[in-house]
Structure 1
């Protein structure tokens, strides 16, 4: 059934011999996540008549649990040590805490401290998964919040050496004469948007200018004092200290999160900043003690850990546990039956197909439109400029927490939602706890899903519900998929050092295979310290890519470093993209950890969101509007459970209040749960905490009811398999486990979007790009009803501009139609700047007053004219392009006159089709070349209706225009059209002459055609689409005619 497939030599990936090509392949290895205690401990304690007493006895006789509690919560450890001196109420509270920890330690695989551990598995024809707890190894690291406390204390007690490197915080930005920072890093911070700012005085601006790259403090002082000769050195140092305190400046001391040994890197940086201070010797001793503790067996570390905590807190007290501990099992042969990889591959494609409907549900949809409106698609703009509210678009509004999400549902998605709702209502009526997802339904409704848009890699976490290894190999199991991520390997990134070289090699192979799918794309890892410094512990990971963006302490030993200043933003018609200055490749920015991207700095979030727009992502099964329902049934696809059954219970549902006695609330909950067939064993989820409880056990029922009594909704999720389903063995018994599998896209579907024509960055001076009133350009916007535009352009505008041209007040003009902020016509006048100011402005004033009086316009504005220099070939071609705009505007005015006077029988979109044909003819395209260009953007034929009616005159006129031959029969339409199209011919030939050496000339011609359509047809894109289709079909018919002749 299986064979080996290779993305590149010597790297095997499992592939199924299936007629239908799978979309995703699993990598050869996977991550196994397992609670330290067997689930037997959980079930055994449930049998105790006095659970709380039994919990205390178990804890006091189990040194492994004592060490785990000490590592997680030293305060709880101390309280448990003195529990006999505590009041009864306090003892119950301690027992409740202990109950939750024990449940976590025996039922929840998510790695945390010593509660659970990770290991590496491989696919095989037979399953062999058993652990020896003696082979579980600890790895302790200094907590990052503690390191930050050491740094703060050292800075307060010692003077920084002049050689220390200082750098402007890359997250700081300038708006309105001030520099802001809205990502302040603190211990235990809860506000990711806390802000500081300073006024941009000349002195501060100079400091920021000199610290764009790291600079020695002494060099910074020297340069500043030269520039500001009257400035006292003490005042300068005081200002620098203030900027450091506000985090607008940074010292190169904080360790990079790309480092697997952050304490060692911190010590090296600290010595470089302060010299051989006393604390360094203390840190070196602590480092040795951490290493020694990591080598202790699981059940022999309590005494040493207590001593280590005391030693570390003597140096600095962060208010938290000063160590972060993870553990891994080094058992060499953990294998899982490869048939499961087949089923997961198939299920992952189903999840991707369902998520495909939501591909437009991204926070940058409106931002993309705003970018195109401001910059167009032929220009790349520096990241810093785009995100600056003064010079660019600012931070995307959708990054605000309360920003509404926009999503247009397709017909297919609506059908799925309707089916799901019907099944849901039936499950309520029948008290049914499972919905079966038909394979044919999903594949039929997602038939249009473009597999080439699938993400390159992802992680999928699953449970295998079975009773034994033999049952797994016999196919007697169920799979459950609770989680997915958008980046393959992100789940295991922080464990690679403890999992060993095989795990790191497997991850490197995944990265190389992923990058091989996109050879014309640059990939970079990004690293940043979160606003709550302590959460940075989960962000520590090695950089396995060539490039790195390190916002804290960039070092070449962690990859070729990119700065935010290197990154530029561009846009296609569909999406935004990133690139590097001077590069013709797209840049994709990844992280290799699971830190919540919504809590990242805005600029990091922007980079990740733009990178993810290239693909259609995967998500766990989502109920949509039904997600908050009080009950949701299990959703099953073949042998895979996509979503477990769940209940959301609150006081209203139980007809209770916060004042309801807990004993009564227990009865009401128990009755309600029985009524809705809730199983005995359920996971209670509160925030990100999830513990297994037995709702029929008194103390567990107390935990559930007490949580409900708080007034917030409590989610309870079924435990699949109930008291069975756990089959992974150790000498302790049977364990719950989760398997995190990385998947990579099948290269059959790796047809990446071609962005080979990424615009080259052009350094254009502001005075050349933006023309303000008072320059040689004057830009006016006239707001009017959309229905009045054709009349205005054909009858009102021509006499006015003709007079200006005859008087030589202007030398050119051109117009465009727009809809943003209301329908309006934009007119740009060119001439001598003195004449524009002294003569055009008064004439424009009088003319617009008459238009107001005649109610032809209802608003008028003068605006800066920002030239789309890159879009039309750069600085050397923009004047020739503007000359073509001028003559094309006159051509469009002539055609609009003829249409309004009914001198032309053809509809406006047919006239536009002929205009396209002559446009391409004048640009040197023959029939076949013109067909190729028009075909590229005309895959959808929905606007072809009506072509047959106009086919004959279109072919007749197109033929003579393409051959430059006179029409034999008298045809007034031909004469009118020839005269109109001839207005712009010389300007096209001139632009074409200068365009010949331009590689991306086609895109410029496309832009010219689009602008012509805007002038002639307005902003209705369906008319433009129809015109292009009519032009295409006319040329195709002509080509067939000539072929038949020969």
Structure 2
């Protein structure tokens, strides 16, 4: 039976996740039963086959390497019996069902294997056949949409042959001939079409010259072909053979390799006939191209895995707890801020323009993880201290503890979908059969990404249908940055649309140059220019963003922007503690107990003689005591080792000498029964991948004004034009003084400009500064006004008020303020608001007075532009301290609102400009435009987003009391 959360202190209530379509789930099983064979037991044929496929050390290794062979055999035997991560023939995958019935688990022996060439090997073979003229002329060629033009050169990145080496940067000169070829390849072209285009310009060019040019472009990554299989796992040899003529010498050898692999796959793992075929296939691959581990394999288990829906519900609740207590990370927060500074809210910016490394913002977020909140850190410290004080191996999370650990902020939304990896164990040998405990091992997103790798081996998952109106769900199709990990990409296409990135497009694909980035001021979004619909890009594969083309990784992050992901448990600042206890939520283990290795043990691992003594000392002295079986954490590999076995202790030493710094208890604890699936020779270890969907899905980000994209030069005013934009570096403490001096200087030469305004900024590049913008005649601005302002800024630097200034491009936020026809009207509002605010700063030095005046001003803007609609004043959600300030200042704000304000002419001038601007705006834009104006006024007067929220709340009160 399954335990209810209430029996072990689980918090009640519905979390942010529910079970997604179960067809996205997956079961992962160790292929051999968890029967310890003992040191003298012959190696299982499955382990022998796995070593042959996965290691340079196999069962036939020479006797002088016997120690190494035995250690490797032991490590692989453990993998095949106790690890559930699908790799070669050590572990397999199967469907998992969630039903209303009792658990039903079983595993047979008729397992199916899919064996295919290593993608590195196949890439090298494909490169070889490019030398064949007949092969080359039978291909289709497509310009790589990741190619960038820099001056007179074209640049692209070539995937590497291993996951540790960075992609190779390629650059070729963009000659006239190259331009002709690239133009011909924009929409995919045959050799004949390219040759026709070239001969149209150079009628007598030899065919061999065309061949040489195409080979160079393909091998540099500037042009891609259809020779590379789109799916590295499912019969890639047939794809290559379809591109080869019968006369190609390699075709016969590749055909034989395909037939030999089919013969091998007709037998289950470990079968002698399969091993014979694999050795033959290995010899064939070596004759064509010698590569380490030239063959790969995936295995589907003959298994029946049925679990109660209640199990999935408990795991979904545990995922909600992990979501609540994880630190908030936003890898695009700085990028988003830079986007708003450059382009503003509401503007559609082509994604290739926004992500350009030179002319745009790039696409590397480079954002560090956010630290734990102070309250959460204190709660973690109490948990750890309580466990250490009483020597407990476990801490339990109840509702009060979870509330103390909660790091979510108002408005945080869960990522749209995720999946959580969970080992299924039995709590102890005395527990009844089916009394399962669930141990979380990892998380990933989106739901279905793990299953996608095994497309063609297990039944396809569900397919999203397109309504023709809502968000376009698109699958990212790309080549990874390393051919070594191409097998992890799969070819699952549950989405109705594709975005090809650096690969061959298909008819109907969404191309990168059809996509635009947009922000609503709070979140980033993706938009299809051609279809006028929001776009959500997903990647159903197991690649990390660092192994994707940067644009693909950026689009993945973009589609999750504004949401919070589910992350595995972390002890935050205490992650390096000598011991951290097991963490339990109800029937789910969120983290195992973990022991950090002391430095003397790590040093002793360099030699066998000191190792045994150092390990014995640690085992007898450490508290809490180590279990007999510990799990070694080696990157993403978790290997259980029995410290009472000589061979396992030697394996432990080898892992520690390579850098392993910690061990954990087995999933569920030392008393848990690890193998739960009955089979003919014993029980097998089981892990399930549970697909989750967020209960509340984020709303798409849509354009505020127009779904059209304007030219990058529209609304961008470089120095020397009709706008002079200065950035004067100054901390907030001196900005008012700097502003007063600039205002005085500008007033003295009012005949040199037509209008001017200012605002406060803070960017990672410049830090805090003032942006001062003057509009007028270009010659006058640059020839007369700039020298005067330069002298003023020099004096500010001498007096210690500023560290300098710079001249910048002025980017108009056209979309944010109502479109092209409204931008000059709103700039007139900016001019009058800036003049009014400058006077208010000098006449209201008190921070409380400024806050009250800001509320009065916000109310006036909302009354004039938004017809008094209080929606223009949101958001103003306040915490307890802010509500206290609001209550204290409410009488002062009302008093200011009831009296004639200071500087009446300036208020009247701004009101007149606001009325003209409001008359131009369509009714549906008035609320958000008023909100933007309120924000800019608060920026000038308050310079603090937190105090702006208080001003908005006070303004809402002012409007409410005057509304009949």
* TM-score, normalised by the number of residues in structure 1: 0.82
**Contact 2:474 2:496 (C-alpha < 8 Å) held by counterparts:** yes
Is 2:928 the counterpart of 1:1003? yes
CA RMSD of aligned residues (A): 3.6
Is 2:786 the counterpart of 1:812? no
Alignment-derived partner of residue 379 in structure 2: 416
What is the CA–CA distance in structure 1 between the aligned matches of 2:884 and 2:388, rounded to whole Å?
Answer: 42
**Contact 2:525 2:700 (C-alpha < 8 Å) held by counterparts:** no
- Give the counterpart of 1:672 among 615, 618, 630: 618
What is the CA–CA distance in structure 1 between the aligned matches of 2:216 and 2:723, rounded to whole Å?
Answer: 46
What is the CA–CA distance in structure 1 between the aligned matches of 2:644 and 2:903, rounded to whole Å?
Answer: 86
What is the CA–CA distance in structure 2 between the aligned matches of 1:142 and 1:175, rounded to whole Å?
Answer: 37
| 1:264-343 equivalence runs, <5 A | 264-268=238-242, 270-271=243-244, 277-298=248-269, 299=271, 300-314=273-287, 316-331=288-303, 333-343=304-314
Alignment-derived partner of residue 722 in structure 2: 776
| 1:223-302 equivalence runs, <5 A | 223=197, 238-257=212-231, 260-268=234-242, 270-271=243-244, 277-298=248-269, 299=271, 300-302=273-275
What is the CA–CA distance in structure 2 between the aligned matches of 1:975 and 1:572, rounded to whole Å?
Answer: 34
Alignment-derived partner of residue 161 in structure 2: 187
Q: In structure 2, do the counterparts of structure 1 residues 582 and 885 end up closer, same or farther at CA, with 3 Å as the change threshold?
A: farther
What is the CA–CA distance in structure 1 between the aligned matches of 2:770 and 2:204, rounded to whole Å?
Answer: 55
- Equivalenced residue count is 946
What is the CA–CA distance in structure 2 between the aligned matches of 1:608 and 1:472, rounded to whole Å?
Answer: 44
Q: In structure 2, do the counterparts of structure 1 residues 956 and 699 end up closer, same or farther at CA, with 3 Å as the change threshold?
A: closer
What is the CA–CA distance in structure 2 between the aligned matches of 1:212 and 1:581, rounded to whole Å?
Answer: 19
Q: Deviations over 1:477-504 (max 9, x none)?
A: 422111221221222212242223xxx2
Is 2:633 the counterpart of 1:685? yes
For the pair shown, which has the larger CA radius of gyration, 1 or 2?
Answer: 1
- Give the counterpart of 1:733 among 677, 682, 685: 682
Alignment-derived partner of residue 561 in structure 1: 509
- Give the counterpart of 1:979 among 905, 908, 923: 905
Q: In structure 2, do the counterparts of structure 1 residues 451 and 115 end up closer, same or farther at CA, with 3 Å as the change threshold?
A: farther
Deviation at 1:922, TM superposition (A): 2.7
| 1:97-246 equivalence runs, <5 A | 97-124=72-99, 125-133=101-109, 135-162=110-137, 164-175=139-150, 178-182=153-157, 184-188=158-162, 190-199=164-173, 204=178, 207-208=181-182, 211-223=185-197, 238-246=212-220
Alignment-derived partner of residue 7 in structure 2: none
Deviation at 1:341, TM superposition (A): 2.7
What is the CA–CA distance in structure 1 between the aligned matches of 2:317 and 2:408, rounded to whole Å?
Answer: 18
What is the CA–CA distance in structure 1 between the aligned matches of 2:250 and 2:162, rounded to whole Å?
Answer: 24
- Give the counterpart of 1:387 among 332, 340, 355: 355
What is the CA–CA distance in structure 1 between the aligned matches of 2:512 and 2:432, rounded to whole Å?
Answer: 49
Name the SS of the counterpart of 1:101 in structure 2: helix
Deviation at 1:291, TM superposition (A): 2.9
What is the CA–CA distance in structure 1 between the aligned matches of 2:798 and 2:31, rounded to whole Å?
Answer: 83
| 1:630-1029 equivalence runs, <5 A | 630-649=578-597, 652-653=600-601, 656=604, 658=606, 660=607, 662-676=608-622, 677-709=625-657, 713=661, 715=663, 717-718=665-666, 720-721=669-670, 724-746=673-695, 750=696, 752-753=698-699, 755-757=701-703, 760-783=706-729, 786-787=732-733, 789-790=735-736, 793=739, 797-798=743-744, 800-801=746-747, 803-805=749-751, 809-820=752-763, 821=766, 823-841=768-786, 843-844=788-789, 859-896=804-841, 898-899=843-844, 907-923=849-865, 925-926=867-868, 929=869, 931-938=870-877, 942-945=881-884, 951=890, 954-955=893-894, 958=897, 974=900, 976-996=902-922, 999-1015=924-940, 1017-1029=941-953
Q: Deviations over 1:82-132 (max 9, x none)?
A: x5xx44x42222222211121211221211122222222323422221222
Deviation at 1:424, TM superposition (A): 4.8
**Contact 1:37 1:105 (C-alpha < 8 Å) held by counterparts:** yes
What is the CA–CA distance in structure 2 between the aligned matches of 1:132 and 1:858, rounded to whole Å?
Answer: 74
Q: Greater helix share, 1 or 2?
A: 1
Q: In structure 2, do the counterparts of structure 1 residues 302 and 160 end up closer, same or farther at CA, with 3 Å as the change threshold?
A: closer
What is the CA–CA distance in structure 2 between the aligned matches of 1:810 and 1:914, rounded to whole Å?
Answer: 30
| 1:599-610 equivalence runs, <5 A | 599-610=547-558
- Give the counterpart of 1:21 among 11, 14, 23: 14
Alignment-derived partner of residue 549 in structure 1: 499
Q: In structure 2, do the counterparts of structure 1 residues 96 and 944 end up closer, same or farther at CA, with 3 Å as the change threshold?
A: closer
What is the CA–CA distance in structure 2 between the aligned matches of 1:97 and 1:563, rounded to whole Å?
Answer: 47
Name the SS of the counterpart of 1:619 in structure 2: coil
**Contact 1:583 1:760 (C-alpha < 8 Å) held by counterparts:** no
What is the CA–CA distance in structure 2 between the aligned matches of 1:657 and 1:309, rounded to whole Å?
Answer: 36
Structure 1 window deviating more from structure 2 (148-157 vs 685-694): it is: 685-694
Deviation at 1:899, TM superposition (A): 4.2
What is the CA–CA distance in structure 2 between the aligned matches of 1:397 and 1:343, rounded to whole Å?
Answer: 35
- Give the counterpart of 2:488 among 533, 538, 543: 538
Q: In structure 2, do the counterparts of structure 1 residues 1027 and 654 end up closer, same or farther at CA, with 3 Å as the change threshold?
A: closer
**Contact 1:944 1:1030 (C-alpha < 8 Å) held by counterparts:** no
**Contact 1:772 1:863 (C-alpha < 8 Å) held by counterparts:** yes
Please list every run of 5 or more consecutive structure 1 residues that lacks an aligned counterpart in the other structure.
Answer: 3-17, 960-972
Deviation at 1:543, TM superposition (A): 0.5
**Contact 1:571 1:577 (C-alpha < 8 Å) held by counterparts:** yes
Q: Deviations over 1:192-238 (max 9, x none)?
A: 35433345566656655554442334434544565689988766654
What is the CA–CA distance in structure 2 between the aligned matches of 1:102 and 1:859, rounded to whole Å?
Answer: 67
**Contact 2:592 2:664 (C-alpha < 8 Å) held by counterparts:** no
Q: In structure 2, do the counterparts of structure 1 residues 549 and 775 end up closer, same or farther at CA, with 3 Å as the change threshold?
A: same
What is the CA–CA distance in structure 1 between the aligned matches of 2:803 and 2:12, rounded to whole Å?
Answer: 64
| 1:355-366 equivalence runs, <5 A | 355=326, 358-359=327-328, 361-366=329-334
Q: Deviations over 1:936-976 (max 9, x none)?
A: 445557545455676567546646xxxxxxxxxxxxx6164
**Contact 1:621 1:643 (C-alpha < 8 Å) held by counterparts:** yes
What is the CA–CA distance in structure 1 between the aligned matches of 2:877 and 2:115, rounded to whole Å?
Answer: 60
Q: In structure 2, do the counterparts of structure 1 residues 844 and 818 end up closer, same or farther at CA, with 3 Å as the change threshold?
A: same
Q: Deviations over 1:346-395 (max 9, x none)?
A: 3222222222xx12x23322222222222221212222222223211123
Structure 1 window deviating more from structure 2 (614-623 vs 938-947): it is: 938-947
Alignment-derived partner of residue 1034 in structure 1: 958
Deviation at 1:519, TM superposition (A): 8.4
**Contact 2:439 2:589 (C-alpha < 8 Å) held by counterparts:** yes
Alignment-derived partner of residue 485 in structure 1: 444
Alignment-derived partner of residue 38 in structure 1: 33
What is the CA–CA distance in structure 2 between the aligned matches of 1:655 and 1:144, rounded to whole Å?
Answer: 39
Deviation at 1:469, TM superposition (A): 12
Deviation at 1:696, TM superposition (A): 1.0
Deviation at 1:536, TM superposition (A): 0.8
Structure 1 window deviating more from structure 2 (785-794 vs 1005-1014): it is: 785-794
Please list every run of 5 or more consecutive structure 2 residues that lacks an aligned counterpart in the other structure.
Answer: 3-10
